[in-house]
């Protein structure tokens, strides 16, 4: 039986007797590959000298992977958390293999104090470790033994203690209120990417897989969960208030996927058609709110089983809502953890977009059970395989479960365009990126890995065709199951299945950053249309015109007005330019590149081609996804200075008859960007008027109340349009919003969930201190985290400077969950020019607390981006850069550079187009006679 340390061994005592002695590794200069690559390959890309001058890649941190002379086979792990003192005691009994005689074992270990360690060779005598050298910077410990450990198997025993921290990483505490309002804590884990080492000493690299036998010693009235099913539960002899819960042995797996949760939860359960027991764990008393996710999960498991043609390998899967949770969700094998808002749905109080979000997140994390958990990336350089793939297939899964969501069109607006925007920056990075130090790993959980990754997989799937794609996927999963794989391994399998040059095509997308702009011109030759197609690198500051321009292998499809939904021709552009003859196109027909907006590139049409496509926007003959794509391309061309912003404003006016939610949503987002830009000018009000004029007809058509027969997308569209009109100060919308808000607050007529965000936003934007007080009250009363978040996100819309300050103070108060502070501050920054300044000052003034709260994880990057990305004055780029030179945030280094670049781009855009935009608005008001 495992013997645990008694409670009397306090953490502080242990710290005194075992001082940490940092042993710093020195870094060979050649390890610094990424900096090198960036500088050499892309330093000449920028068309904007100012941007290049201000942004230089910083030095990367030194890093070496664990030695391979010893590896684990099985971890016997027993943990005893103390939910009152916030400490835990642990006992590791690992079966290890010594590959080569050594008297040292190097493992990962962080924020843990080792009490004793010993090694016993199989059938031999136990040797106690005589030294534990902590290399804190490297998050490693070296155990030294008085004599050499011989080649062969043995057992490594380590007793240790740690803190249940409040940083949402490692083994941490999450706060919740009991039914009586008493504050209590659950103990939960978040190990990806590199934080299993904060819960137990281990070989914390994805390729070092082992099996796990986990036991938890917990209060007997608490739920204890881990990756596997419970196989034994017995009283704990030393304390009759505790039980020891033992879980079945896991399959061989990576440390970052291990999980345990100890707390108070209810659940709903069901069995999927392929016999897997699925449970959704919710806060006590909220089991009903788990039903929607349960339904999605039970549909999703057989969908993936069928798609991959590989069964889910564990006997059960639990999905659990965790109150304090940094990411959206985490795919721990068999025990997937979620933010409450990514899992819980209340039929009355949840809005349509929350349902959609829950479906996507469940679809995403369950896909990882195969793609990531069963087959794992060899190193974090291939993180994109995990995240890009899951971010693509979550849409396939939701499209299967909820065809009425038209989710693929939403993909284009949510992921594809986001990725293009980020990847057009000089400070983007290739999908496959050399990473070493944990802060570099944290940094790549970004829109390149997720959204560009998903977008290039979507393009690849389209290039290969579903049948061969599935064949290749199946071969990949079978070949590498319970093992690790790299990007090349996937290309090999897909190449075998399809007979197409997958590696050659895909390497151009994953190994170099950026993407091309496809320049197209046409000529009619008899019955045929001859297209001249060329590519060059697209940069947010304009296209790349240098000699060393990178190029891509670009799958290009072409359609015509004869059938806009049907691809007439496909070519693979594998050189800078080519000529394509499309047969049988009469002169009056239009020709379009990239139907479905699947290819990961922007397009610049000749004036004549563009002219011929525009009527298709107004008369809706172009597909929604292509109307969206065309508008988005032109918007980004305007930002890059390749066309005038006025041209885009004119195009936007052609959307007045637009019925499609996603098209509106993308348009609205771009108008938001423009509105934010023009907030730096004296005619900000003019763009509000433009927005009001554009959205009024659709607003009138939709009205405030849902009509019989309406569906999911109508609900989303109504919320979007009313919110946009309200924010832009459309009087009738403001009045109706105020009326409905009053009724809601007085309990006369509760607002439907879908109307709450737009109404809250509208009344706050044009509200006073009473409105803000009322919102704070609604926030306090809200029982659902979804409602609290809904309020938190719009609080920043309040206009008066003193009230903005109250919102910022609220962001850091106990009322806001630590992970949600970011969206409150971001909401302030995104709402107005004054808000942006105030939010930035607030971040600077509270930097220590914020940085400490997130321990430099990915939330700090999000906070920085939300706060400073919208500035549009050159000197702010310098200010931001200088602040982060003296206030280090290693995991946000690239984000800071991207933000500085964006600020300079905004400033250049404003200087270039402001006057023309102003004139255009004046002309609209008083058109020349």
Q: Which residues are catalytic?
A: 365
Residue 822 touches Zn ion, criterion: CB under 5 A? no
Residue 387 touches ligand BES, criterion: CB under 6 A? yes
Report residue 681 CA to chain centroid gap. 33
> Segment near ligand BES (CB under 6 A), from 91-99, 201-209, 323-331, 628-636?
323-331
Residue 113 touches Zn ion, criterion: CB under 5 A? no
Minimum distance, C-beta of residue 387 to Zn ion, in the bound complex (Å) = 5
Residue 359 touches ligand BES, criterion: CB under 6 A? no
> Segment near Zn ion (CB under 5 A), from 238-246, 384-392, 532-540, 754-762?
384-392
Minimum distance, C-beta of residue 366 to ligand BES, in the bound complex (Å) = 10
Minimum distance, C-beta of residue 450 to Zn ion, in the bound complex (Å) = 8
Task: Give the 3-state secondary structure percentages of the chain, helix then strand then coil, rounded to 5.
Answer: 45, 20, 35
β-bridge pairing 602-605 and 569-573: unpaired
> Segment near ligand BES (CB under 6 A), from 114-122, 178-186, 387-395, 537-545?
387-395
Residue 353 touches ligand BES, criterion: CB under 6 A? no
Query: Which SS3 state, helix, strand or coil, does residue 584 take?
Result: coil
Residue 14 touches Zn ion, criterion: CB under 5 A? no
All residues at 6 or more sequence positions from 74 whose CB lies less than 8 Å from its CB, including other chains: 94, 95, 210, 211, 212, 213, 249
526: left (phi over 0), alpha (psi -120 to 50) or beta: left
Q: Show the binding pattern over residues 708-747: x = contacts ligand BES (CB under 6 A), - = does not.
A: ----------------------------------------
Q: Could you say which of 156, 214, 261, 330 contacts ligand BES (CB under 6 A)?
A: 330
Can you tell me the distance from the alpha carbon of 325 to that of 267, in angstroms, rounded to the nearest whole number?
19
> Segment near ligand BES (CB under 6 A), from 231-239, 329-337, 458-466, 902-910?
329-337
Q: List the beta bridge partners of residue 242.
A: 219
Residue 446 touches Zn ion, criterion: CB under 5 A? no
Minimum distance, C-beta of residue 323 to Zn ion, in the bound complex (Å) = 21
Q: List the beta bridge partners of residue 281.
A: 267, 320
Can you tell me the distance from the alpha carbon of 635 to that of 308, in angstroms, rounded to the nearest whole number?
38
Q: Out of ligand BES, Zn ion, none, which partner does residue 330 contact, by CB within 5 to 8 A per kind?
A: ligand BES
Nearer to Zn ion, 224 or 454 (CB): 454
Residue 415 touches Zn ion, criterion: CB under 5 A? no
Residue 60 touches ligand BES, criterion: CB under 6 A? no
Can you tell me the distance from the alpha carbon of 888 to that of 290, in angstroms, rounded to the nearest whole number?
41
Nearer to ligand BES, 391 or 733 (CB): 391
Q: What is the number of helices (H) and of strands (E) in the chain? A: 32, 29
Q: Cis check for the bond before 125: say yes or no (omega within 30 of 0).
A: no
Nearer to ligand BES, 328 or 672 (CB): 328
Can you tell me the distance from the alpha carbon of 462 to that of 275, in angstroms, rounded to the nearest whole number?
32
Can you tell me the distance from the alpha carbon of 406 to that of 517, in angstroms, rounded to the nearest whole number?
27
Is the distance from CB of 718 to CB of 754 less than 8 angstroms? Answer: yes
Q: Out of Zn ion, ligand BES, none, which partner does residue 858 contact, by CB within 5 to 8 A per kind?
A: ligand BES
Is the distance from CB of 73 to CB of 211 less than 8 angstroms? Answer: yes
> Segment near ligand BES (CB under 6 A), from 20-28, 385-393, 498-506, 641-649?
385-393
Q: Show the binding pattern over residues 178-217: x = contacts ligand BES (CB under 6 A), - = does not.
A: --------------xx------------------------
Q: Out of ligand BES, Zn ion, none, which partner does residue 370 contact, by CB within 5 to 8 A per kind?
A: none
Can you tell me the distance from the alpha carbon of 579 to that of 577, in angstroms, rounded to the nearest whole number?
7
Nearer to ligand BES, 295 or 365 (CB): 365
Nearer to ligand BES, 46 or 108 (CB): 108
Query: Which SS3 state, helix, strand or coil, does residue 330 take?
Result: strand
Query: Which SS3 state, helix, strand or coil, does residue 248 take?
Result: coil
Can you tell me the distance from the alpha carbon of 674 to that of 657, in angstroms, rounded to the nearest whole number?
21
Element (H, E) at 924: helix 893-925
> Segment near Zn ion (CB under 5 A), from 382-390, 674-682, 762-770, 914-922?
382-390
Is the distance from CB of 824 to CB of 859 less than 8 angstroms? Answer: no
Residue 387 touches Zn ion, criterion: CB under 5 A? yes
Residue 168 touches ligand BES, criterion: CB under 6 A? no
Q: Out of Zn ion, ligand BES, none, which partner does residue 329 contact, by CB within 5 to 8 A per kind?
A: ligand BES
Minimum distance, C-beta of residue 847 to ligand BES, in the bound complex (Å) = 22
Is the distance from CB of 392 to CB of 414 less than 8 angstroms? Answer: no
Residue 368 touches ligand BES, criterion: CB under 6 A? yes
Number of residues that bind Zn ion (CB under 5 A): 2
* CA distances (Å), origin 851, targets 174, 291, 672: 19, 37, 29
Residue 257 touches Zn ion, criterion: CB under 5 A? no
For Cα atoms 142, 143, 144, give the angle at the middle one, nearest 5 degrees: 110
Residue 364 touches ligand BES, criterion: CB under 6 A? yes
Q: Show the binding pattern over residues 438-467: x = contacts ligand BES (CB under 6 A), - = does not.
A: -------x----------------------
Number of residues that bind ligand BES (CB under 6 A): 17
Residue 324 touches ligand BES, criterion: CB under 6 A? no
Q: Could you say which of 131, 219, 311, 328 contacts ligand BES (CB under 6 A)?
A: 328
Can you tell me the distance from the alpha carbon of 121 to that of 153, in angstroms, rounded to the nearest whole number?
6
Nearer to Zn ion, 438 or 870 (CB): 438
Residue 329 touches ligand BES, criterion: CB under 6 A? yes
Q: Could you say which of 390, 649, 900, 903 contacts Zn ion (CB under 5 A)?
A: 390
Query: Which SS3 state, helix, strand or coil, does residue 408 take?
Result: helix
Query: Which SS3 state, helix, strand or coil, does residue 525 take?
Result: strand
Can you tell me the distance from the alpha carbon of 593 to that of 701, in angstroms, rounded to the nearest whole number?
33
Residue 365 touches ligand BES, criterion: CB under 6 A? yes
Is the distance from CB of 568 to CB of 584 less than 8 angstroms? Answer: no
**Ordered alpha helix ranges (H), 316-427:** 352-368, 383-401, 407-411, 417-423
Can you tell me the distance from the alpha carbon of 171 to that of 618, in angstroms, rounded to the nearest whole number?
55
Give the interface with ligand BES as residue ranges (CB under 6 A): 192-193, 327-331, 360-361, 364-365, 368, 387, 390-391, 445, 858
Which spans of this chain sit near Zn ion (rule: CB under 5 A)?
387, 390
């Amino acid at each position: 039986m495992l013997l645990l340390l008694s409670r009397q061994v306090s953490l502080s005592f242990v710290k005194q007797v075992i001082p940490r002695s940092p042993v710093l590794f020195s870094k060979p200069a050649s390890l610094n590959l990424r900096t090198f690559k960036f500088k050499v390959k892309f330093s000449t890309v920028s068309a904007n000298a100012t941007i290049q001058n201000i942004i230089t890649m910083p030095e990367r941190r030194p890093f070496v992977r664990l030695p391979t002379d010893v590896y684990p086979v099985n971890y016997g792990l027993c943990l005893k958390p103390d939910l009152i003192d916030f400490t835990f005691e642990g006992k590791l009994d690992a079966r290890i293999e010594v590959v080569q005689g050594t008297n040292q074992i190097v493992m990962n270990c962080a924020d843990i104090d080792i009490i004793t360690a010993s090694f016993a060779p199989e059938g031999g005598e136990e040797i106690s470790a005589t030294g534990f050298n902590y290399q804190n910077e490297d998050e490693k410990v070296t155990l030294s033994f008085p004599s050499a450990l011989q080649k062969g198997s043995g057992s490594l025993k380590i007793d240790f203690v740690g803190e249940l921290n409040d940083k949402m990483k490692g083994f941490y505490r999450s706060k919740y209120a009991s039914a009586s309002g008493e504050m209590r804590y659950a103990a939960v884990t978040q190990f990806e990417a590199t934080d299993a080492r904060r819960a137990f000493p281990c070989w914390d690299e994805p390729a070092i897989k082992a099996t796990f036998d986990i036991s938890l010693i917990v209060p007997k009235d608490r739920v204890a969960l881990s990756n596997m099913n419970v196989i034994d539960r017995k009283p704990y002899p030393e304390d009759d208030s505790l039980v020891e819960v033992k879980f079945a042995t896991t399959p061989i797996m990576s440390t970052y996927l291990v999980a345990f949760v100890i707390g108070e939860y209810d659940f709903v359960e069901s069995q999927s058609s392929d016999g897997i027991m699925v449970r959704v764990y919710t806060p006590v008393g909220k089991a009903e709110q788990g039903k929607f996710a349960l339904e999605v999960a039970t549909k999703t498991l057989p969908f993936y089983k069928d798609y991959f043609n590989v069964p889910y390998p564990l006997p059960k899967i639990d999905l659990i809502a965790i109150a304090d949770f940094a990411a959206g969700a985490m795919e721990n094998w068999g025990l997937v953890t979620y933010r409450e808002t990514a899992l819980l749905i209340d039929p009355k109080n949840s809005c349509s977009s929350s349902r959609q979000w829950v479906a996507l997140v469940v679809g995403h994390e369950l896909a990882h059970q195969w793609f990531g958990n069963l087959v794992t990336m060899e190193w974090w350089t291939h993180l994109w395989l995990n995240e890009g793939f899951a971010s693509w297939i979550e849409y396939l899964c939701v499209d299967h479960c909820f065809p009425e969501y038209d989710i693929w069109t939403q993909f284009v607006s949510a992921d594809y365009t986001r990725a293009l925007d980020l990847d057009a920056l000089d400070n983007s990075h290739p999908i496959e990126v050399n990473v070493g130090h944990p802060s570099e790993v944290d940094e790549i959980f970004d829109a390149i890995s997720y959204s560009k990754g998903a977008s290039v997989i979507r393009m690849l799937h389209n290039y290969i065709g579903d049948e061969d794609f599935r064949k290749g996927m199946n071969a990949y999963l079978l070949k590498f199951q319970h093992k690790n794989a790299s990007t090349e391994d996937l290309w090999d399998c897909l190449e075998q299945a399809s007979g197409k040059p997958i590696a050659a095509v895909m390497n151009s997308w994953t190994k170099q950053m950026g993407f091309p702009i496809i320049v197209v011109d046409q000529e009619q030759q008899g019955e045929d249309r001859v297209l001249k197609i060329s590519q060059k690198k697209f940069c947010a500051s304009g296209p790349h015109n240098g000699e060393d321009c990178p190029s891509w292998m670009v799958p290009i499809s072409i359609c015509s007005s004869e059938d806009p939904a049907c691809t007439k021709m496909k070519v693979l552009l594998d050189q800078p330019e080519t000529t394509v003859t499309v047969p049988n196109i009469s002169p009056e027909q239009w020709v379009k590149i990239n139907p479905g907006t699947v290819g990961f590139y922007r397009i610049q049409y000749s004036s004549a081609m563009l002219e011929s496509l525009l009527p298709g926007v107004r008369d809706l003959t172009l597909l929604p996804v292509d109307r969206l794509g065309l508008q988005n391309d032109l918007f980004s061309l305007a930002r890059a200075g390749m066309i005038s912003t006025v041209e885009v404003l004119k195009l936007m006016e052609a959307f007045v008859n637009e019925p499609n939610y996603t098209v509106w949503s993308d348009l609205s987002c771009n108008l938001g960007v423009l509105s934010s830009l023009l907030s730096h000018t004296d005619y900000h009000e003019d763009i509000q008027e433009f927005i009001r004029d554009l959205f009024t007809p659709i607003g009138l058509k939709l009205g405030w109340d849902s009509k019989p027969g309406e569906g999911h997308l109508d609900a989303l569209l109504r919320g979007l349009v009313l919110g946009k009109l309200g924010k832009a100060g459309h009087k009738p919308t403001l009045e109706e919003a105020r009326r409905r808000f009053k009724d809601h607050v007085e309990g006369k007529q509760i607002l439907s969930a879908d109307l709450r965000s737009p109404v809250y936003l509208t009344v706050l934007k044009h509200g006073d201190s009473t409105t803000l007080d009322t919102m704070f009250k609604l926030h306090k009363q809200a029982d659902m985290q979804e409602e609290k978040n809904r309020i938190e996100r719009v609080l920043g819309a309040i206009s008066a400077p003193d009230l903005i300050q109250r919102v910022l103070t609220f962001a850091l108060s106990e009322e806001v969950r630590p992970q949600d502070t970011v969206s409150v501050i971001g909401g302030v920054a995104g709402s107005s020019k004054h808000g942006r300044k105030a939010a930035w000052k607030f971040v600077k003034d509270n930097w220590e607390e914020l940085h400490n709260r997130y321990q430099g994880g990915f939330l700090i990057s999000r906070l920085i981006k939300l706060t400073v990305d919208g500035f549009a004055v050159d000197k702010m780029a310098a200010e931001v850069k200088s602040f982060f030179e003296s206030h280090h945030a290693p995991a946000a280094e690239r984000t800071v550079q991207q933000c500085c670049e964006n600020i300079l781009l905004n400033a250049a855009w404003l200087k270039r187009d402001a006057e023309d935009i102003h004139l255009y608005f004046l002309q609209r008001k008083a058109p020349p006679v």
